[in-house]
Amino acid sequence: MDAPLLRRHLLLAGTASLGLGSTPGRAAPHPAASDDSAAADLDAVVAPPPALQLADGLRLATCLFPGAKAPSLGLVRDDGHIVDLAAGFKRLGLKARFATDSMLSLLEAGPEALAQVRQLDARAASGRLPTHALQQVRLLSPIPKPHSNIYCVGWNYLEHFNEGKDVRADKGVSELPAHPVFFTKSVHTMNHPLGSIPYEVGNTETADYEAELAVIIGKTGRNIPEEQAMDYVFGYTAYNDTTVREIQQKRHGGQWFKGKSLDRYGPMGPWIVSADGVDLSQVRVICRINGVEKQNASYETMYFKVPRIIAELSRGLTLVPGDIIATGTPPGVGYARKPPEFLRPDDVIETEVTGIGSFKNIVRLQS
């Protein structure tokens, strides 16, 4: 099968069972996913954007435009087309207040930078700026190189806390803590939408999925009051806190960092939706493995909501623009299932946050 047909097959039909052997409760993995060309094609395509939950929102992406050798920022429009910010400013004769190749620069530049992007959005809506079809660009993580570790919240859905009680190695915690459980993931975990997740024999046999809503901080703050916390949110994106359970729970004294921090074990994207485009009460966090739904929960069932998370995390700790906070995963993870369902080579993980977007990552065997 040639590459274009293979890509279409994988993305439009590729999560259906093709008669391969599979674990009970799982669909069969896609058989062509271990092929290098297939993985490259998978990386190149992302699903069209869902409708914004609130009309004022913007979708901001980091991507490679056709013919480009370096990433640039893009504005993703409702029709699935994307505006090259650098080209747009040049076309209009405007000087950007931020580096148009850096999401961190845009975040650090504050409200004035976002106002400039809204100008471009208005011009694009009137047909005065050229756009690219989404399938013509390669989407990267919105923040490909975070300036610090990714902050994460553990046990933030009561059902997820309870489902792991019997299988956690550490039996010392029997009740949900009164304060959020925080940990971090290395910056090297960052992966782009539809990028591959490495599978290493002898090290990652207990790899697991964790779909999450991620918060992107938009301004500097410390000791932020809970009632003011939402003022510090720039926007939201989808995230998968991919984890190796054996390393997380049984090695290194049961400290979570290493099992959460393998290279490329934190795909994020496909873009950031500004906070004024997201109604958290309507958000659901969903994960599918080979097309089979494994996680699906509402933000409303999150134990510690975003304002409380930001308030607690910022106590004595400075948050800055571009900080990423993964807010916890819903029930349905693989290690708590009976029997356990760990990720295997060629599995396709789909992470979705409703109103924001979705992406797929393929698990690829490393030589």
Condensed to tens digits (0 to 9), the pLDDT of residues 1-53 reads 433 333 333 343 333 322 223 444 555 554 333 333 334 445 456 889 999 99
Average pLDDT over residues 281-305: 97
Rg (CA), the chain: 20
The conformation of residue 221, written as its DSSP 8-state character, comes to B
258: buried, middle or exposed (CB in 10 Å: 19+, 13-18, 0-12)? middle
The per-residue pLDDT of the chain, averaged, comes to 87
pLDDT at position 97, please? 97
**CA gap 270, 345 in Å, rounded:** 23
Q: What is the pLDDT of residue 15?
A: 33
Contact indicator for 345, 22 with CB cutoff of 8 Å: no
> Directed axis angle between helix 111-125 and helix 85-92, to 10°?
80
80 lies in some domain:
no
pLDDT value of position 254: 76
Please name the residue ranges forming H helices in the chain. Answer: 3-8, 36-43, 85-92, 103-109, 111-125, 158-163, 245-250, 257-260, 306-313
**What pLDDT score does 322 carry?**
98
Most confident of the following: 14-28, 161-175, 281-295: 281-295
Q: Tell me: pLDDT of 226 over 70.
A: yes
Residue 201 lies in a domain: yes
Q: Please state the rounded mean pLDDT for residues 330-347.
A: 95
DSSP string, 44-72: T--PPPPPPSSTT--EEEEEE-TT-SS-E
> What pLDDT, on a 0 to 100 scale, did the predictor assign at position 28?
56
Whether residue 117 lies inside any domain: the answer is no
Q: Residue 18's pLDDT is what?
A: 26
Q: Is the pLDDT of residue 230 over 70?
A: yes
Name which of 226, 211, 234, 238 is nearest 157 in CA terms: 211
Nearest CA to 245 out of 200, 290, 204 is that of 204
Band (250; pLDDT cuts 50, 70, 90): confident
Q: Which residue has the higher pLDDT, 253 or 130?
A: 130
In a domain, 92, yes or no: no
In a domain, 252, yes or no: yes
What is the torsional sign of CA 172, 175, 177, 181? positive
Percentage of the chain exceeding pLDDT 70: 84
Domain-located, residue 291: yes
Where b means 16+ CB within 10 Å and e means fewer, 142-169 reads: bbbebeebbbbbbbbbeebbebbeeebe
Q: How many domains does the chain have?
A: 1
pLDDT: is 152 or 256 the higher one? 152
The answer to whether residue 167 scores a pLDDT higher than 90 is: no
pLDDT score of 354: 98
Decide if 169 is inside a domain. Answer: yes
Tokens 């910056």, located at residue = 187
C-beta separation of 298 from 286 below 8 A: no
Residue 102 lies in a domain: no
Can you give the pTM of this predicted structure?
0.88
Q: Which domain holds residue 298?
A: 143-365
Poorest-confidence range of 27-31, 84-88, 228-232, 256-260?
27-31
- Residue 253 banded pLDDT, cuts 50, 70, 90: confident
We report the CATH number of the domain holding residue 215 as: 3.90.850.10
User: Mind listing the pLDDT tens digit for each residue in 258-280?
Assistant: 999 999 999 999 999 999 999 99
pLDDT in tens, 186-219: 999 999 999 999 999 999 999 999 999 999 999 9
pLDDT for the residue 56 = 95
